[in-house]
Homo-oligomer: A and B are copies of this chain.
């Protein structure tokens, strides 16, 4: 079984409790209840490299609570605070390298929800301030009665194959040497397979056939569903969209193997293991 990063959270989300404020209040009052420690949006790890948790009386001033779910008898919550606007630091990528899959998945869920609330404090339908409801899994507007739910933005991310090589590209903001699978947000009116073909045409100028799903992962920066696919390229001549990619290249199996092994002489620096592009490359190599 393929297990991409940010999957494998083992808690019970207990959706049936979210609309029952009296049940949520009872869970908050339990001595076993735990509050996720966050520094801005990043996790705070303990000495063992596990997610840090506080008791609920450590709830920060003015913070609302998001109910993450039940870890057996432990009700788990995340604090929702107003975040300062501006760029996020990516130092969390160093923490993710040592976090367990379960912890990364649980923190990713909390991060996606906290950032969604922060970016959606007003009702898009009428402009009034909206309020948290469903124990943090939605916002409702008392002015126009519209309910809003957390965005999950589907993104296709894919390896096009041609003559035993796969297409990798690099965006200007990537670390030096990094290449990864091409990707793009899905739009209204297309299937996953159609989005794969459209993105490869737009970004690399190639036509593909036989797009096929491989695996998916939630990506909490800020709230995507990465849908990983393979596709067969009908041509290998590239015409790059310079607004999206600063370079792209076809890489053979030896090159991918070297990059995933971290070899200095490899043709590119591989994406990190918690990114589904890594999963796609490893799956392709094993196929």
Name A121's contact: one of B108, B124, B225 (CB within 8 Å).
B124
* Residue A163, interface by CB 8 Å: no
Please tell me the number of chain A residues within 8 Å of chain B, measured between CB atoms: 57
B198 adjacent to A13 (CB under 8 Å): yes
Which residues 89-130 of A sit at the B interface, judged by CB distance below 8 A? 105-106, 108-110, 112-113, 116, 119-129
Copies of this chain: 2
The reply to whether B241 and A16 contact each other, CB–CB distance below 8 Å, is yes
Cα separation A137 to B190 with both chains bound (whole Å): 14
Are A154 and B151 also in contact (CB < 8 A) when A4-B191, A192-B216 are?
no
Contacts of A151 in B (CB 8 A): 151, 153
**In the complex, chain B residues whose CB is within 8 Å of the CB of A122:** 122-127
Q: Does A181 contact B (CB under 8 A)?
A: no
> Which residue among A13, A125, A152, A194 has the maximum number of chain B CB atoms within 10 Å of its CB?
A152
Against B, the Cβ 8 Å flags (1 = close, 0 = not) of A17-55 are: 000000000000000000000000000000000000000
Give 27 pairs: A residue, B residue, CB < 8 Å, sorted on A: A4-B191, A13-B198, A106-B189, A108-B188, A108-B189, A109-B188, A110-B189, A113-B188, A113-B189, A116-B188, A119-B124, A120-B124, A122-B123, A122-B125, A122-B126, A124-B124, A149-B185, A152-B153, A152-B186, A186-B225, A188-B223, A189-B220, A191-B216, A191-B218, A192-B216, A192-B227, A193-B216
